[in-house]
Amino acid sequence: MKIRIQHENKSIYLEVPDEDFTLMIDADYEDRLSCAEDKKTVTRRSPQEIMDERFNKPEYNNWHKFDRHRGMPKKPFRKDDESEDATDHMDYLPDNTSEVAWGKKEDYECYCEIIRSILKPKHSEPFIAVYLDGTSMTDYAKSVGVSKSAISHRLATAKKNLKKVFPESSTFPSCHG
């Protein structure tokens, strides 16, 4: 017998021998019989009906709950004398890039403030330049006018001092509490 199983709004058909369903049919019948008020109305259901009730219907409902509103956004009101627009409708979707950039800048400033409050300027500035700004040690050493090994030693000292204050790493930004 073939059984239809729904998954992500797609049907999958599974071939199962008929004798494998007898236990499932009996268990379903006994379960519904124990919960029913009128025991005469309870009948044995087919394996497909059981699968639909227990698995396919909840799976479809979950899929439908999250995916039913996807599609074109609603168009703004258009008066009769206006011509139909030929835009790609991207201007109806919100643009929050400035808020994201502002949040990143706020986090960056918070991290720099914390690092500068813990470390001496001799160690905090190379740490910020190399690890937060992404400048290479060689480029930073040239801009400051010292050797690369001096920057490497300062970074090692900065890491050691930060590990004293923050013994374990955290996934939460420090400025958010």
- The string of pLDDT tens digits covering residues 14-57 is 888 877 778 878 888 888 888 888 888 888 888 888 878 777 67
pLDDT higher than 90, residue 89: no
- Same domain (yes/no): 14, 59: yes
Number of domains present in the structure of the chain: 2
78, part of any domain: no
- Same domain (yes/no): 117, 160: yes
- Same domain (yes/no): 62, 101: no
Determine the Cα–Cα distance for residues 78 and 85; give it in Å rounded to an integer: 9
Determine the Cα–Cα distance for residues 65 and 132; give it in Å rounded to an integer: 41
Q: Which residue has the higher pLDDT, 39 or 62?
A: 39
121, part of any domain: yes
Q: Where is mean pLDDT largest: 43-47, 56-60, 68-72, 155-159? A: 155-159
Phi first, then psi: give them for residue 7, nearest 5 degrees. -150, 120
Residues 134/87, Cβ–Cβ less than 8 Å: no
Q: Where is mean pLDDT largest: 14-28, 64-78, 96-110, 141-155? A: 141-155
Mean pLDDT on 73-97: 60
Q: Where is mean pLDDT largest: 97-101, 119-123, 168-172? A: 119-123
- Same domain (yes/no): 150, 106: yes
Determine the Cα–Cα distance for residues 50 and 5; give it in Å rounded to an integer: 11
Range of the domain at 57: 2-67
Determine the Cα–Cα distance for residues 58 and 48; give it in Å rounded to an integer: 14
Q: Of the residues 20, 48, 67, which one is the last residue of a structural domain? A: 67
Determine the Cα–Cα distance for residues 5 and 7; give it in Å rounded to an integer: 7
- Same domain (yes/no): 60, 110: no
- Same domain (yes/no): 105, 161: yes
- Same domain (yes/no): 101, 165: yes
